[in-house]
Structure 1
Amino acid sequence: MQSLIDESPSGADLLERARAGDQAAFTTLVEQHRDRLWAICLRITGNQHDAEDAMQDALVAAWRAIGNFRGDAQLSTWLYRIGSNAALARIRKRTDADDIADHDPMSHLDVAAQVVVSDRIAEALSQVPDAYRATFVLRVYGELSYSEIAEAQGIGLQTVRSRISRARSILSELLADLR
């Protein structure tokens, strides 16, 4: 007879096990946030190669620091902050600031048009100053609230509003011809 009790570990149990050095528990915790963390790294860096490196750097940094995670913020906010910092560090290390994501050749015209628009957006986003871009990406692609962004980046709420507004303004100017 099967038990009706859910024997899967709770988030708190997984966190405690991860803090104690259980890599499997850490992996389970991180898997819940992997897609959004990837999106944040990709949007901040602007290309797949740097995003992969930033994601790897973020996961290694999170693993090393999980024992120090106090729970003052949500685990997701903490991970996204580490991810955005790792992505920004990758940008600073980059020698060629004009790198644009590589795309596989596609034959379908609609898909090709979407790729062109996506490339234009990625290119425009890469021209937004790093601090504005990171804040904007956390809001749009990370879907964090303004207060979560302020907490994740260690900045004031008004600074978050200002950075997002400025990023939108810059992108609007750069992408005016797409309207």
Structure 2
Amino acid sequence: MSPGGVLDVGQQAVAPGAGPDARPDDTRREEQALLVRLRSGDPEAFESLVHQHQDRLYDFCFRMLGDREEAHDLVQEVFVSVHQNVRRFRADARLSTWLFRISKNHCLNRLKYLQRRGRGRSEAFDEVNAAAIAQGGGAPVQPDAALDAARERARVQRAISQLDPDARMLVALRDIEGLSYDEIVDITELPEGTVKSRLHRAREKLADLLGRFEP
């Protein structure tokens, strides 16, 4: 873990408009304009939404499920849900936050199914291999250094997969996706104090697990 409890798991997806020069007001206006187009049924707007968010949602789902195929299928289901429900979205949160909320619900439901079945399609639930992590986390295909990075991500993902689903979700949202506490409160619909206390316990558990899994 890096300082502040943030996991160093390699390059992460960055939210559209979230670069160093982006301003929150600009991002909010862009989302609102996109939402208007989505509600009007503009197919290009939906394609833009998918293009902007699919990688980040896939990364979140992959961290939650530990299975490439399941994560890929789930992201498609998420966007089907978005397409079906976007006109009912009350805009009480950011559009990107709403996408994570839908993804969270789909992930938790799928985890219940996977746990009943015992494993995902690609690999055992708690035995994610380095190649899968490299693909799931977007690591470049390079020798030596990339392989070491992929192995480290595999070690982190294996530890994450040992957490209970709610703890896994908080670690993924905060320490991997880098979302703010306000965003996580909107996604989880939990009080901020509860989010922080559960995240603290999840980090302690994760640190203990990482200590057990030798590099």
Matched, 1:171 2:167: no
Report the equivalent of 1:161: 196
Report the equivalent of 1:71: 91
Cα shift at 1:175: 0.8
Alignment of 1:1-179 (within 5 A): 11-94=31-114, 95-97=117-119, 98-99=124-125, 100-102=127-129, 103=131, 108-177=143-212, 178=214
Partner-residue secondary structure (3-state), 2:87 = helix
| 1:105-147 deviations in Å (ceiling 9; x for gaps) | x994444433332222111101101011111111122221111
Alignment root-mean-square deviation, CA: 2.5
Report the equivalent of 1:6: none
Compute the TM-score of the two structures, normalised by the length of structure 1: 0.83
Structure 1 counterpart of 2:172, which letter? Answer: V
Q: State how far apart, in whole Å, the 1-side matches of 2:157 and 2:95 are.
A: 28
Which structure would you say has the larger RCO, counting Cα contacts within 8 Å and 6 or more residues apart?
2
Q: State how far apart, in whole Å, the 2-side matches of 1:25 and 1:109 are.
A: 41
Specify every segment of 5 or more residues in structure 1 that has no aligned partner in the other structure, as ranges.
Answer: 1-9
Greater C-alpha Rg: 1
Q: State how far apart, in whole Å, the 1-side matches of 2:208 and 2:164 are.
A: 14
Q: How many residues were matched structurally? A: 171
Structure 2 counterpart of 1:73, which letter? Answer: A
Identity level (%)? 34
Cα shift at 1:35: 2.2
